[in-house]
Chains A and B, each alone.
Chain A
Amino acid sequence: MVGAVNGQGMGEDTPVSFDLKRQSVRELNQFLHGTLQGVKEVRVENPDGAHNLAVGLNGPIRVQIAGHAGYYAAGMNKDATIVVHGNAGPGVAENMMSGRVEVAGFASGGAGASARGGVLIIRGDAGLRCGISLKGADIVVGGSVGSFSAFMAQAGRMLICNDAGDGLGDSLYEAVIYVRGKIRSFGADAQIEPMTAADYEAVRELLDVGGLSHSYRDFKRVASAKTLYHWNADANQSY
């Protein structure tokens, strides 16, 4: 029998609780992968940087992680809403398909790596390689992002409310990045482009999703110059 630690009944709209000081991550994930019997919300106490919390979820459940998460929190998420009330380790929401993941603090490297759908919101800063290999998800960062962010980002949108580090958008395909602050340097093939009405609309939407109050006019558009689209070893020998 799994986790109705707070003693309240299951099948009602009451949150189920897991205390990782006494229960294992395996029990948590096994429960979350199960039939859930009408449980709508699960709370995880004392996560203390444990890895692989709420990975591979596959349905519209809400998970509140009451503290810091380790690697791959909400990895490969589908449909669920997962909130980390603390910081997240590397690869938060990696390869997410749909749903919503929120990090109250900062996110370590590779946040949203290869994410294909859904939205990842990071209220603090994101580390290096935020949105690396992005494949269609939205990433909203309230703070700054580290170097090599949006590396090889293929599709999707990133909204960065503060600054970006070095090598932003190296090898971009069709993903678009909106940056409000300074960009330390661009990656290969990334460039600033004029904002269109559609871009302003997208920024408004992303600000709304993140509950952020910046003006949509403050953002610049970064996209691919598309010079790497056909294999040309003359250009910089990197491919």
Chain B
Amino acid sequence: MCGIVGLLLKEKALRPRLGELMVPMLVGMTERGPDSSGMAVFTDTAAGDGRKFNLYCTQSQFDWERFEAAALESLGPTRLEIRSNHCILSTAAGPQAVREWLRKTYPAVRVLSVGRSIDLYKDVGLPAEVADRYRFADIGGTHLVGHTRMATESAVTIENAHPYTAGEDWCLVHNGSLANPGSIRRKLEKLGERFESDCDTEGACRYVHWRLGRGESLETALQHAFADFDGFFTFLMGTRDKLALVRDPFACKPAVVAETGEYVAIATEFRSLAHLPGVKHATVFEPKPAEVYSWSVQ
């Protein structure tokens, strides 16, 4: 049970302020989600053929400098951007090579996301603390997905925080609770998916990603989800150039959208949208159940 926020900036001039606009939205969802918080932002594209790997390490006083030197040696040219216990590793090395190297050399460093455009931060703590720790307010980009968590059945850990990701440049956050997460997980594990957490949302994220990987459209994938998932859910999903929002057919969990010429903003409660510029003149609506709403970045 949680709070969800999403923001897509149509207006290019606002894009450097993406994080700044988002922080009050996230903090507004604190009561719904005091345990942990996170966001996935689609921002600067990795250079050339490279990718960005968002990593974190819970060891205190982790020596990122030595890590950087080791990465340079093993992976080739790399760039590291460090915030607290989080770092963005930009490299031309492929995902398999990077994961393998981390597994062998730095098992305490975990991969949060992989992609050309996505950066992902998540941590335990109040939303305001997490936002502060990683300086969300400084981050720019085109669109993002954010989340505040009140843990239902799995423990409060970084792994169990949202957003979840799978593959590359794909993320999902969830408000609600799935009633058959065990079966979904086992089905995906049989198909070769590897899970990192106990959280029902990871199942949802990997399920949709798996269907997209089979060439299904997002709408088709979610139609299957309505049949395969039990429980209540509002999903907010992000790809490199899109935000997508859907509520399950019972639609017991709320969601509100505010759209202007400059942005599309999504939150579980209107009060997270109330501070946004021009919201008094925005088109405000609630998504209908079992319908996929999506917005693309121009």
**Chain A positions near chain B (C-beta within 8 angstroms):** 48-51, 68, 70-71, 87, 89-90, 105-106, 108-109, 127-128, 146-148
Chain B min CB distance to A234 (Å): 26
Which of B250, B270, B286 touches A127 (beta carbons < 8 Å)?
Answer: B286
Task: Say yes or no for B271: interface residue by CB 8 A criterion.
Answer: yes
* B208-226 at interface with A (beta carbon < 8 Å): none
Task: Say yes or no for B46: interface residue by CB 8 A criterion.
Answer: no
Q: What residues of A have a CB within 8 angstroms of the CB of B289 in the complex?
A: 128, 146-147
Q: Given the complex of chains A and B, what is the CA–CA distance between A147 and B252 in angstroms? A: 11
Q: Of A49, A87, A109, A148, which is in contact with the most chain B CB atoms at under 10 Å from its CB?
A: A49
Q: Given the complex of chains A and B, what is the CA–CA distance between A167 and B269 in angstroms? A: 26
Q: What residues of B have a CB within 8 angstroms of the CB of A90 in the complex?
A: 254
Q: What residues of A have a CB within 8 angstroms of the CB of B293 in the complex?
A: none
Q: What residues of B have a CB within 8 angstroms of the CB of A147 in the complex?
A: 251, 289
Q: Given the complex of chains A and B, what is the CA–CA distance between A84 and B94 in angstroms? A: 55
Q: What residues of A have a CB within 8 angstroms of the CB of B272 in the complex?
A: 49
Given contacts A48-B275, A146-B251, 9 further A-B contacts (CB under 8 A): A48-B270, A68-B274, A87-B270, A89-B254, A89-B269, A108-B286, A127-B251, A146-B288, A148-B250
Contact indicator A106/B286 (Cβ below 8 Å): yes
23 contacts between A and B (CB under 8 A): A49-B270, A49-B271, A49-B272, A51-B271, A68-B270, A70-B270, A71-B269, A87-B284, A89-B254, A89-B269, A90-B254, A106-B284, A108-B254, A109-B251, A109-B252, A109-B254, A127-B251, A128-B251, A128-B289, A146-B251, A146-B288, A146-B289, A147-B289
Nearest A-chain residue to B280, judged by Cβ: A67
Q: Given the complex of chains A and B, what is the CA–CA distance between A68 and B275 in angstroms? A: 12
Task: Say yes or no for B237: interface residue by CB 8 A criterion.
Answer: no
Chain B min CB distance to A110 (Å): 9
Nearest B-chain residue to A148, judged by Cβ: B250
Contact indicator A49/B251 (Cβ below 8 Å): no
Chain B min CB distance to A140 (Å): 20
Interface of B is mostly: loop
* Size of B's binding interface in residues, CB under 8 A: 17
Contact indicator A48/B274 (Cβ below 8 Å): yes
Q: What residues of A have a CB within 8 angstroms of the CB of B118 in the complex?
A: none
Q: Given the complex of chains A and B, what is the CA–CA distance between A148 and B249 in angstroms? A: 11
Q: What residues of B have a CB within 8 angstroms of the CB of A106 in the complex?
A: 284-286
Interface string of B247-269 (1 = CB under 8 A from A): 00011101010000000000001
Task: Say yes or no for B273: interface residue by CB 8 A criterion.
Answer: yes
Chain A min CB distance to B278 (Å): 14
Contact indicator A68/B284 (Cβ below 8 Å): yes
Chain A min CB distance to B126 (Å): 19
Contact indicator B254/A50 (Cβ below 8 Å): no
Contact indicator A89/B252 (Cβ below 8 Å): no
Chain A min CB distance to B226 (Å): 13
Q: What residues of B have a CB within 8 angstroms of the CB of A87 in the complex?
A: 270, 284
Q: What residues of A have a CB within 8 angstroms of the CB of B275 in the complex?
A: 48
Q: What residues of B have a CB within 8 angstroms of the CB of A51 in the complex?
A: 269, 271
Q: Given the complex of chains A and B, what is the CA–CA distance between A65 and B271 in angstroms? A: 14
Contact indicator A50/B271 (Cβ below 8 Å): yes
Chain A min CB distance to B101 (Å): 47
Q: What residues of A have a CB within 8 angstroms of the CB of B286 in the complex?
A: 106, 108, 127
Q: Given the complex of chains A and B, what is the CA–CA distance between A109 and B256 in angstroms? A: 11
Q: Given the complex of chains A and B, what is the CA–CA distance between A50 and B273 in angstroms? A: 11
Q: Given the complex of chains A and B, what is the CA–CA distance between A148 and B252 in angstroms? A: 11
Q: Given the complex of chains A and B, what is the CA–CA distance between A128 and B289 in angstroms? A: 9
Q: What residues of A have a CB within 8 angstroms of the CB of B269 in the complex?
A: 49, 51, 70-71, 89
Q: Given the complex of chains A and B, what is the CA–CA distance between A147 and B270 in angstroms? A: 21
Known A89-B269, A109-B251, A147-B251: A49·B285 in contact at CB below 8 Å? no
* B159-206 at interface with A (beta carbon < 8 Å): none
Chain A min CB distance to B261 (Å): 20
Q: Given the complex of chains A and B, what is the CA–CA distance between A68 and B273 in angstroms? A: 11
Q: Given the complex of chains A and B, what is the CA–CA distance between A105 and B258 in angstroms? A: 14
Contact indicator A49/B274 (Cβ below 8 Å): yes
Interface string of B272-296 (1 = CB under 8 A from A): 1111000000001110110000000
Q: What residues of B have a CB within 8 angstroms of the CB of A70 in the complex?
A: 269-271
Contact indicator B288/A49 (Cβ below 8 Å): no
Q: What residues of A have a CB within 8 angstroms of the CB of B288 in the complex?
A: 146
Q: What residues of A have a CB within 8 angstroms of the CB of B254 in the complex?
A: 89-90, 108-109
Q: Given the complex of chains A and B, what is the CA–CA distance between A105 and B252 in angstroms? A: 21
Q: Given the complex of chains A and B, what is the CA–CA distance between A50 and B270 in angstroms? A: 8
